[in-house]
Structure 1
């Protein structure tokens, strides 16, 4: 039997062939090697495209980011990868990089208390009951997640600090902003508002998650604890 034919993906069962697998099960069902194999289409005389891509990934510690740093000359050192295939791999990885860059730019960045108000007012500003939310931020102060922590009556909600920090840790947040609404329209923080803020701020110090602000939102206005120097 011809070696090329023996190792060809075409000889695999149809459900195991990367293209057919993608069409029937979706992209998430494919390994990185299988996705790469779809790009390069064929392997070498003694290994399939999938096996060749496995070798390439192994040489890069199974890290796509490391593979993305390789140039055409380096990729051509793998038997079965010529200039055309190397260019296809590099182009595909560059598209992935540009996609991540676009996604990063799309994540809103918190530049002021007003920017938080503009994000959260449409969500909770018009409610007839009180809700307590948390915004989770990364090092660049971009919002990586929002989480509703409680929903209560007309004047107060109860916040479980353990759940708050569990969610912040799961999101890998480096800082948080608390936000809750006052259906009454009254912007003055209550004693319980100040107490929970202080409690969360102190707990955050232990976990190295900084409390940046606590903002009270009403239908038309807001109050920032940080702007008012209530958080010191």
Structure 2
């Protein structure tokens, strides 16, 4: 019987090795698996770094946003050849990509539509496995003063403190507030609790003369705007 012999990346033709391919042909020539293989550096005795990377991506439906939801423990526990160092490298690299996207979205400092709000928060909230509630504080020209995370919860929801939101707005001399949170389920339709907290904050904002302009619910690829739907 013929014995199968595993070839490591070092045994490949020079032009097929991910690092050499990047240098000779550029970043665009590499697949997602080859880029991931460069990050993890080596595979195991049973498979090369590229083969391991393909397996990881396959489990994520070949979707980098899904990979971005994986924790260090997720990667370590499921894949032979992935230890602390490699798992941390993968998670840190994807977080850098998320932050790069976020910085690009911050170039626009004036809010003119719900789409502007989505463009700011989607890189932060779009692919999180848990809920987070944020506020965007604006001046009289609808320019962003700051954004602030109010709370973080489990997959089923998060706790909202109306007093903390108003105090944060007052401390930053905000003229108006936009609310934003994510739905990890991917369903952008507001829940009864979403509607209740929106109404409560809208009424509290009126008393303090700090109007709540909108409440945006973010999913991975879409959003719901209370203002656009005439519900605020």
Q: TM-score range by the shorter chain?
A: 0.5 to 0.7
Query: What whole-Å deviation, never above 9, does each CA across 1:19-74 have from its counterpart, x for those lacking one?
Result: xxxxxxxxxxxxxxxxxxxxxxxxxxxxxxxxxxxxxxxxxxxxxxxxxxxxxxxx
Shift of 1:230: 1.2
Q: What is the root-mean-square deviation of aligned Cα atoms in Å? A: 1.3
Equivalence for 1:124:
125
The TM-score with structure 1 as length reference comes to 0.54
Equivalence for 1:181:
182
| Match runs of 1:66-105 below 5 Å | none
2:193 aligned with 1:195: no
| Match runs of 1:20-31 below 5 Å | none
Shift of 1:156: 1.0
Q: 1:170 to 1:112 in 2, by over 3 A?
A: same
Query: Is contact 1:150–1:157 with CA below 8 Å preserved after alignment?
Result: yes
Shift of 1:203: 0.4
**CA–CA distance in 2 between the matches of 1:218 and 1:205?**
28
Equivalence for 2:206:
205
Structure 1: state its 5+ residue gaps: 1-105
**CA–CA distance in 1 between the matches of 2:193 and 2:185?**
16
**CA–CA distance in 1 between the matches of 2:191 and 2:224?**
12
Runs of 4+ residues over 6 Å off in structure 1: none
**CA–CA distance in 1 between the matches of 2:122 and 2:188?**
14
Structure 2: state its 5+ residue gaps: 1-106
Equivalence for 1:141:
142
Larger radius of gyration: 1
Q: What secondary structure sits across from 1:197 in the alignment?
A: helix
Equivalence for 1:39:
none
